[in-house]
Amino acid sequence: MEERRKVVLPANAVPILEQRYLRKDEEGQVVETVEEMFWRVASAVSGAEARWGVAPEVWAERFYDMMARLDFLPNSPTLMNAGTPMGQLSACFVLPVGDSMEEIFDALKWTALVHKSGGGTGFNFSRLRPSGDVVRSTRGVASGPVSFMELFDGCTEVVKQGGMRRGANMGILDCDHPDLLHFLSAKTREGRLANFNISVALSDAFMETLDGDGQWSLVNRRTKEAVRTLPAREIFDLLVESAWATGDPGLIFSDRIEADNPTPHVGRIEATNPCGEQPLLPFESCNLGSINLLHMVEGDDFDWKKLDQTVRLAVRFLDDVIEINAFPLPQIAERSRGNRKIGLGVMGWAEALFHLGLPYDSDEALRKAERLMAFISSVGREESRLLAEERGVFPNWEGSRWQEKGIPLRNATVTTLAPTGTIALISGCSSGIEPVFALAYRRKVFGDQVLTYVNTILTEELQKRGLYTDDLARQIAESGSLKGLDLPEDLRRLFITSHEIHPQWHVKMQAAFQRHTDNAVSKTINLPHEASVDDVAAAYLQAYREGCKGITVYRDRCKAAQVLYRGEEKSSEPTAEKRERKPAGRPGVLRGTTVKIMTSFGNLYLTVNELEGKPFEVFATLGKSGKDTMAHTEALGRLISLALRSGVPSRQIIEQLKGIGGSQPVWESDGVILSLPDAVARGLERALGESFVDSSREMCPSCGAPLVAAEGCLKCEGCGYSKCG
């Protein structure tokens, strides 16, 4: 190992690797170096080469060197499991769900096995009969797709993926299912279907009906009869209202996906993996990997020769993965080996654009995206064709659309733009094709020491122009962007962050990459908190017009909005008239609890006094702080005291304050403190010995940092955690 290339990692990559990827002994101690991990993966994957009489050692060195340079990394299950007894290397699976109780519970068992092995699962629940429909065998009535989705959700909650990753699911329902309206609002109740992303499969017929303001029929799957007809506009309006409030459901455009199905003679594509970028047949899986574009830039353009070589090596690597993969079910093994789908994608697009001097929201960036992805697709297919000459075409090639075109390929699909959250952190680049979320941030380390991290490309550019100062770094860290700073316009135009980009440019970028991608594109269309329902609708319609295969939107802090309640789902929040009103007078003696919370303005000391066993008043003081900050802190304490004395439950006060973002977050041992209001909320929790779910912004369960919406899922920019596995 001494002679092999040493791996140079970003500082925050080491704890991620130690926690999730490097092998451990029975006591949980790390017993593997980063170099040993990459060699484990390279040597295991290259073992497939021997099946065609090729010396594995040569390819092992090439695979290792590619990963050690961080030019390419495979999906997490491959890094975790290659060369181990687990041996399951794919990230994406789709499982069928039939309409009988036996078929449903077979699918539930399969789901547990896939999650245990480290994969995520997608389902289409449209075969299930609607709620209230007849069940002849028991003379009862069906409970409908959503109730069974809750069963799958519960199963996911208790199964840990391979001991390292929590499972994730995609639940899809066709747009003509009778339970569609119930499905659209399934996630508007907080905490429901927490392990699911949900999407509606919209057909071309529905979109045409919507465009013509026509009527749409919902059809019983058992009887094939229409059970209800209503305006397509009404369905679409409910869909976008739910997405505006919660981020769900997303959309997949089912006919567009099926039009690109390479093996329609094998089956119809009904579902995708959890983040929506990998459409798959029932019992099909796909293994993924991504090229680090930050390492492919040379001067003011890409190094096309290096990119060509990396694409070819990555395609061979991913094809070898299929050979050594220990699939969790025999049905999955048969179908996956029959089509041999791989998904090569990219990461680091945002930094590549910084280097190239192209603003994310520009026509030049869109043209560069198309040229780049067209090149990767062309080279990738050429390498798959060469592999077909060496090893044979994929077994289901006869009857495929590739046979119709006279193109012999080793792999039914070659390209996918998948989420790269954790492997992007390891590689030191941005995720997938997403813009950056912040140009700088602060992290508290070693007690009270606060370190400021500024995007290295921005830092280099500021230093080159003689503009960099510690004070400027502080200003950038406080806001996370260059907006409003006294800097040259071209800098502020180039170094733009996600929420400064209009949603239509997010969709345009997704569409540009989609035009040259076999499968689909994992991306989130970020909307500002003040965005309207009409803005969500516009993004959905634009995605369809521009040729996307699906779309996910997320309105910033949408969890802070009042969720939608329909039918029997009523709010349990007490009304003002029902609240117990506490006496205004204060007794001479009260007892309470004082807690200390770190903030970037100094230590916050929060005292909560109680009356008759219930919180009555709050005093908040701030050390090492300016007068204005101290005044704001005291004002918060007074207002909270007034609310408590007026009968407002402490839970509601905490939920209102917790998760409010500020300019200077601070990392503590058990989480991140986002702002002074957030610190007060955390202090109230600790003083009262309670913990409440943040209704404003979801937090990372691993490190406590706020989760951000990217690549079709919620993920942590700090430690790489993703709700989608």
- Coil/strand/helix, residue 124: strand
Task: Give the separation between CA 91 and CA 332, rounded to whole angstroms.
Answer: 13
- Please pick, among 92, 124, 261, 277, the residue that the annotation labels catalytic: 277
Query: CB neighbours (10 Å) of residue 67?
Result: 28
Query: CB neighbours (10 Å) of residue 301?
Result: 12
> What phi and psi values does residue 481 have, to the nearest 5 degrees?
-145, 180
Is 273 in the active site?
yes
> What phi and psi values does residue 218 have, to the nearest 5 degrees?
-100, 130
Residue 9 tokens, joined: 């990692």
Q: Which amino acid is at 163?
A: G
Task: Give the separation between CA 261 and CA 275, rounded to whole angstroms.
Answer: 18
Cα torsion 90, 92, 98, 104 to 10°: value is 70
Q: Which CA distances in Å does 670 have to 146, 607, 686, 721? A: 35, 20, 12, 15
Task: Give the separation between CA 282 and CA 280, rounded to whole angstroms.
Answer: 7
Residue 680 near residue 604 (C-beta atoms within 8 A): yes
- Please pick, among 92, 175, 275, 429, the residue that the annotation labels catalytic: 275
Concatenated DSSP letters of 581-600 = PPPSS--S--EEEEEEEEET
Long-range Cβ pairs for the range 707-710 (8 Å, 24+): 708/437, 709/247, 709/524, 709/526, 709/552, 709/554, 709/556, 710/419, 710/421, 710/431, 710/432, 710/434, 710/437, 710/498, 710/523, 710/524, 710/526
Task: Give the separation between CA 63 and CA 599, rounded to whole angstroms.
Answer: 45
Report the relative pairing of strands 550-555 and 671-673 from DSSP bridges. unpaired
| 436 CB-side CA count, 13 A | 27
Q: Which amino acid is at 590?
A: L
Region class of 171: left (phi > 0), else alpha (psi between -120 and 50), else beta: beta
Task: Give the separation between CA 288 and CA 286, rounded to whole angstroms.
Answer: 6
Q: Which amino acid is at 681?
A: A
Is 580 in the active site?
no
Is 81 in the active site?
no
- Please pick, among 75, 273, 292, 526, the residue that the annotation labels catalytic: 273
Concatenated DSSP letters of 355-407 = HHT--TTSHHHHHHHHHHHHHHHHHHHHHHHHHHHHH---GGGTTSHHHHTT-
Q: Which residues of 551-561 are buried (b: 16+ CB within 10 A; e: fewer)?
A: bbbbbbbbbbe
Catalytic residues: 273, 275, 277
